[in-house]
A = this chain, B = another copy of it.
């Protein structure tokens, strides 16, 4: 499967490289997260998650702490998980896997963005910016990246939290970052965590 070579007659060398990259990143659809779809039927994959974050960013931009350039936010959320094609998804509350996460992801970024040659540098710089949360766009993108799985847990009655025995304090400290991008969304996190403990979705 997926063995067809690129036709020699196809226009342009840049298009050949771009198509190679667009073909390779299809693998993001096979990287599964711990978060469930809202109907509880299966776990969500990284490509679906990235699309959902684009919708979160578009709809919630008014709540960002500082004005954001939405084009840059949308690009950032589209590419933020591409490294997981090589490095896999690391569950938020898996401390052992977090030890070498940064190294695994940097190597993956070198390879995946490298497929685009010179054009990949802009995307790699955006990914570095996202990881380092140095700009309003990166902080807002990171906020929605944390908020979305939190709401999925709440709306599925804590399905993934209960499977992993997660506690309220873990969720609060992991999601403290939401407030750095949006104080309003940060307050929402606290409300959702309190409601989840009360409903028994999350351990106190």
Residues of A within 8 A of B (CB): 1-4, 7, 9-12, 14-15, 18-19, 21-23, 25-30, 37-41, 44-45, 47-48, 50-52, 54-56, 58-60, 62-63, 70-71, 74-75, 78-79, 116, 119, 123, 148, 151-152, 154-157, 159, 184, 187-188, 191-192, 194-195, 199, 201
Contacts and interface: CB of A to CB of B under 8 A. Distances in A.
Q: Across chains A and B, which 10 residue pairs bring their CB atoms closest together, nearest first?
A: A71-B71, A1-B40, A51-B51, A7-B195, A47-B48, A2-B38, A26-B38, A74-B74, A54-B78, A47-B51
Contacts of A9: 191, 194-195
Contacts of A56: 22
Nearest to A24: B38
A26 B11 contact: no
Nearest to A57: B78
A120 to B, nearest CB: 9
B38 A58 contact: no
A11 B70 contact: no
A50 B156 CA distance: 24
Contacts of A192: 7, 10
Given A22-B151, A70-B71, A4 B157 contact: yes
Contact of A78 (B40, B47, B55, B62): B55
A18 B22 CA distance: 31
A115 to B, nearest CB: 10
Given A1-B39, A75-B58, A184 B11 contact: yes
Contact of A155 (B4, B27, B191, B195): B4
A74 B61 CA distance: 15
A19 B78 contact: no
25 contacts: A1-B157, A2-B155, A2-B156, A4-B155, A7-B192, A7-B194, A7-B195, A10-B191, A10-B192, A11-B184, A11-B187, A11-B188, A15-B188, A18-B59, A18-B60, A26-B39, A27-B39, A29-B48, A30-B39, A47-B48, A48-B51, A50-B54, A51-B54, A51-B78, A74-B78
